[in-house]
Amino acid sequence: MSNNNYGNDPTMPAQPGQRPPWPQGQPGQQGQQGKLILGGSHNQQGQRRPYHYPPQPAPQFPPTTPAQPGQHQSYPQQGSPFDVPVRPGQDIPPGGSLQPGPMVDSPLPKGQRRRKRGRGCTIGCLGMLVILLIAGFILVPMGNRVMAFGSAISTQSPLSTQTNYMNLSQRTNMLVIGYGGTGHDGAYLTDSLVVVSLMPQSHHTSLVSVPRDLWVQNPPDSGSYSKINAVYTVASNGNKNPVAGGDALTQKVAKVTGMDVKYWMTINFNGFRELIDSIGGIDVYVPDAFTANYPKNDDPNVDASWITVKFKKGNQHMNGETAIRYARARYVLDNPAESTDFARSARQQIMIKAVLAKLKQTSTWPHFYDAMNALQKTIYTNLSLADLAQFEMKMDLNDSKSAKIGLSTQNVLAESTSDDGQSILLPQNNDWQRIIDYIQSKLYQ
């Protein structure tokens, strides 16, 4: 983290008439050709090394409260999400086929590999929760297991409610927090931050993606700054206190977006891979073929080499590893459109639909016990199992008007560089209200 104050971060508004100086890069100016450029690039193939930020002082963490008996303790980039709605009857379009044009990533500093995103994985877990809750009451022998599962994944009792079981007229927002987990470089730096915004009565659903490189004050009122993806790991003391981490990141995202975000759910991507395997894989239609370089191991300390992955156009059955590679592949060799953040978002939406379709098949039900074991290592939340199930049942991502809102340099953000050399994002003209106004204008009302 840097100790420099780069402007009116929403946790410390500037005084009227005051405009702090900009860091290097002059926010307000777009990157090359006006495209979103998130700092950093991948290494030469075969020369990966562990994820790292520039050296910084170790954060001082407040003492954490020891876990009580039975308390959950073990828990297992941002792209340019598209704002353009999909036409009725149209499946997820091929990457880069909608306007505005595709955004590209800039090279990472030499010797550093860009971390992969997994935003699509986060939403797919919700579908499993509905099936588990229904199964718990239809299949009586599994009832106790489902209740134990609900207690393990949440700070709340399984059948309690914080939302009146989603019988609300006002918008309800949940922040989905994705991280790599143990065995990944930068294990608890958040790869994915997506606000799922739902109007329970109309089922109108919006997804708001928050860039991991957004430069914010961290911890609040400290005078120190970092990328927003470090807020969770600092507040949770390296995941030792996930509730503190989830609460802190939710509060920060609420300030940035202007949305009333109260609820959160963390997702460990390793567990999501196991979930897909536990239900026998998923059937996916691949609209565009591509070949890409992909890390042989999530942790470069184990194996820093690369492999080549290929996906042919058409229907394919994917296990957990193949599905994750398809959703997260970024270093595309033969189809530039598939290397964009827009294309990755489209692929992740395809995978979500495939997971939900598989979970609805009666042939999947005998695998629920294994699926619960996988999910128990994957998610943790401050919503009850009953509320999560209701939330998912009311979500409608198939609605052609559902909003996919991405913050980028093509709308409200600007590139810059911190004093310690990190590539960062700030609001254009240091105007945080611009972000709030933009999101409000795009939400599905």
Q: Indicate the domain borders of the chain.
A: 115-279+360-442
Tokens representing residue 219 in the block:
């911890």
Cα distance between residue 266 and residue 235, in whole Å: 14
323-373 confidence digits (pLDDT tens): 989 987 889 999 988 886 656 766 766 776 677 678 778 888 788 888 888
Looking at CATH, the fold of the domain delimited by 115-279+360-442 is given as Aminopeptidase (3.40.630)
For residue 290, list its beta bridge partners. 311
Cα distance between residue 20 and residue 22, in whole Å: 7
Please enumerate in sequence order all residues whose Cβ is within 8 A of that of 33, keeping only pairs 6 or more positions apart, or say none.
none
- Judge whether 161 and 386 are in contact, CB under 8 Å: yes
pLDDT of residue 167: 93
Tokens representing residue 42 in the block:
């991948």
- Judge whether 174 and 190 are in contact, CB under 8 Å: no
Report residue 317 CA to chain centroid gap.
24
Alpha helices, DSSP H only, in 171-292? 231-235, 242-257, 269-278
For residue 24, list its beta bridge partners. 417
pLDDT of residue 82: 37
Write b or e for each residue in 113-125: b if 16 or more Cβ atoms lie within 10 A of its Cβ, otherwise e. bbbbbbbbbbbbb
pLDDT of residue 101: 39
pLDDT of residue 165: 93
- CA 369, 352, 119, 382 torsion: positive or negative? negative
CA angle 437, 441, 445 (to 5 degrees): 130
pLDDT of residue 280: 93
Report residue 65 CA to chain centroid gap.
27
Cα distance between residue 21 and residue 225, in whole Å: 15
- pLDDT below 70 — which residues of the chain? 1-142, 340-343, 345-346, 348-349, 352-353, 356
